[in-house]
Structure 1
Amino acid sequence: MRFVFKTDYDQDIRILKHSGYWWSYGVLLAVLIAAPFLLGSYLQSQLVFVFIYAIVGVALMILTGFTGQASLGHAAFLAIGAYTAGFLQSHGVPFIVYFPTAAILTGVVGALVGFPALRLTGIYLVIATIAFAFIVEEVLARWESVTHGNEGMRVRALDLAGIPVPRDSEAFYFLCLLVLVGVILLALNLLRSPTGRAFVAIRDSETAGKSMGIDLAAYKVKSFAISAAITGMAGVLFAHKMTFISPEMFTLLLSIEFIMVIIIGGAFGVHGAILGAIFMVMVDPFLTALKDDVPVLAASVASSFGMAQDAATQLQDKLSKIGSAAGLKGAIYGLIIMMFILFEPYGLYGRWLKVKLFFQLFPLYKRATFKRQKTYVKSERNR
């Protein structure tokens, strides 16, 4: 077990608390740098999607995990960033210009969405963000002169200082990794700043935060703007990775997937966004493989137990139809969310912290260590 003897208040807000972090994160970064040269094109492509989902997860972490504001409209922010990139690229604007432009434009839209949210909390705020997502989806479908409507928009490979960067190249992989590292450092430094501490105060208790002089309206709008701007950057990378974008790609289901990133990973730390992104990207090919393999496996097991070949074939066909049923993926996602909320509310990162603490404190570990104590300000008890 490591004991850190602190002699300075600055040690409490360091990004890396001790030398162990330098070693572990250094090794992880080295592995990620070597990954495209060691893995096949499919796994490299999946890692790129992990990076993009992780960027959106960090953006949601700032809004939901730090500030306590719920949102089911981040697919709309992703769409705004993606379509801004596609539109400006088609007019000859270079990547170095439209990448920050997409972030700024999406941040401005996020701030505008944040204003109506000032008087909304809980389920009402969620409904407002869902309505915003539907509005954006309808605008993308109707504004054909800019978005090409339901026909979609082609996005060419990005051009970085005159060098083309195809979506399957190592250069694009490293670009996404660089943006993710930059966003993580931004989030960690934001949390250490007065703005980040104000976000956390608003999340814990708006009444207490207001009593300390925090401008709730300004910081809520700022949180929406920062979260939306980061999601807009992810939208640019998403558009170049997909090479084709259409309104049907940015639906409510995609927003739910983003929420699942922080629910599954853990909504109280940047690590949770990374773990949740890995889970969400990898669960889809896992479900696809499961859908293809389970009917065959079930039929072979049934045949080994004496079932007739025709009956085994019929069983395989029925299971294949069930696996191809519409809405099954959404139902499985909903079940995963419920299981995590009920049995692992701290997410994968919370489980990792519990396991690590167990070995650090063994045999003195107590099961009640992670039980959250309910504390209320007197003015909030009757809400």
Structure 2
Amino acid sequence: MSTTKVQAKPVAVERRRRFDRRWAGLALLLAAAIYAPFQLVPFHVFQLTMVLVYAVALLGLNLLVGHAGQISLGHGAFFAVGAYAAAVLMDRWALPYPLTLPLAAAVAFVLGLALGVPAMRLRGLYLALVTLAIAIFLVPLLKRFEELTGGSMGLTLAKPQPPAWSGLAEDQWLYFLTLAIAVASFLLAASLLRSRVGRALHAVRDNETAAEVMGVRLSFYKTLAFAWSAMFAGAAGCVYTWVIGFVSPDSFTVNLSITLLAGLVVGGLGSLSGPVLGGLFVMFVPSISQDVNDAAPGVIFGLLIIAVMYVAPTGLAGLAGRLIKKIPRKE
């Protein structure tokens, strides 16, 4: 047997062990997620539901920022588009709520595609300013079209009710709906990143010049990254409307976009577990900051971000990975 084959065998065994451990961990996590709503009070079930909503939104932002290397400070705008698309379809046209999900995602996808075309010529701070401008002017735009969006008062909607055969309470039904959509979204994103599109996005992120020399169409993949990112945000916004039962322009200010980006960086860029950890951050840290100091929650929020970045510069996902590697393994 050659030396190369002898060396390749332990590598293959180690890869298989990593694969098995990963799937075992995912199965355990999914089992815990299914078990949780039956043990928690309704408010805590609602909090976990919102964590999943934000995780789906951050999954889209991660495709754009973490995997394509494009900065965006306007992701909250696409989230709002999905939320309002679902709200308008349900309130004005009485469309059944299951149909609003693909339509809201499609509307956000088209908008992301349209905005991605001019944005593909920009990079760095210039791209950040353009996306920030989108988030800034969205709120007054929503208030202007009062007949459609409800203006400053927003729209109040009936939440999806659990079918009689399920035996679930309303909060549990909304949780499981959101969990199913989150699992499907993560599987779709993982499949996308393993495909040719994912490899092209990584090439654009690492070195645009080298990627172009290798035949990667920069304009096409940058625009596609914006569209996919917006689609996931739109889907998350739609589910947000189901869960909250109310939308208003003041729920989607520029602070939402900044908080989402901060949550992704804290969770871990370029990692599939980063959006989940970021969702926990977006859901709980602002409320913790408010409880610690009512006068200056923003100061506490900023200090917490600095502390996390000091301890885990690659995000919480990177920190967890380093800790796992330090665990002694049995031969």
TM-score normalized by structure 1?
0.78
- Does the 8 Å CA contact 1:157/1:166 hold for their aligned counterparts? no
**Runs of 5+ consecutive residues of structure 1 not aligned to the other structure:** 291-322, 363-383
Q: Structure 2: how far apart are the matches of 1:354 and 1:164?
A: 41
Q: Within 5 Å, which residues of 2 pair with 1:1-383?
A: 5-6=11-12, 17-90=18-91, 91-158=93-160, 168-290=170-292, 323-325=293-295, 328-360=296-328
| CA spacing shift, 1:165–1:179, aligned 2, 3 Å | farther
- Please tell me the residue identity of whatever aligns with 1:335: L
State how many pairs are aligned.
321
- Go from structure 1 to structure 2 and tell me whether the alpha carbon gap of 1:161 and 1:105 turns closer, same or farther (over 3 Å shift): farther
Q: Is the 8 A contact 1:73 1:252 kept in 2?
A: yes
- Structure 1 counterpart of 2:223, which letter? V
State the distance in 1 between where 2:166 and 2:119 align. 41
CA deviation vs aligned residue, 1:10-48 (integer Å, no higher than 9, x gap): x98x9x952222322111111110111111112111100
What per-residue deviation string (whole Å, max 9, x for no partner) do you get for residues 153-189 of structure 1? Answer: 1121136889999994211110100111111111111
**Counterpart-to-counterpart distance in 1, 2:198 and 2:106:** 20
Is the alpha carbon distance of 1:47 and 1:271 closer, same or farther for their aligned partners in structure 2, counting shifts above 3 Å? same
Give how far 1:112 is off. 1.2
- Give ranges in structure 2 of 5+ residues lacking alignment: 1-8
Whether the 8 Å CA contact 1:261–1:277 is kept in 2: the answer is: yes
- Judge conservation of contact 1:50–1:281 (CA < 8 Å) in 2: yes
- 8 Å Cα contact 2:81/2:108 also seen in 1: yes
Contact 1:114 1:225 survives alignment (8 Å): yes
CA-based RMSD: 2.6
- Cα 1:337–1:4 shift into 2, 3 Å: farther
Q: Specify which structure has the bigger relative contact order, considering alpha-carbon pairs within 8 angstroms and separated by 6 or more residues.
A: 2
Q: Deviating runs (4+, > 4 A) in structure 1?
A: 159-168
Question: Does the Cα contact within 8 Å between 2:78 and 2:230 map onto a contact in 1?
Answer: yes
Question: Deviations for 1:341-366, whole angstroms, at most 9, x for unmatched residues?
Answer: 4552201111111112223489xxxx
Distance in 2 of aligned mates of 1:81 and 1:239? 9
1:231/1:160 Cα in 2 relative to 1: closer, same or farther (>3 Å)?
Answer: farther
**Contact 2:46 2:171 (C-alpha < 8 Å) held by counterparts:** no
Paired with 1:129 and 1:162, the residues of 2 have a C-alpha distance of: 44
CA distance in 2, matches of 1:63, 1:261: 14
Alpha-carbon distance in 2 for matches of 1:63, 1:161: 37
For 1:35, the aligned partner's letter is: A
Which protein has the larger Cα radius of gyration, Structure 1 or Structure 2? Answer: 1
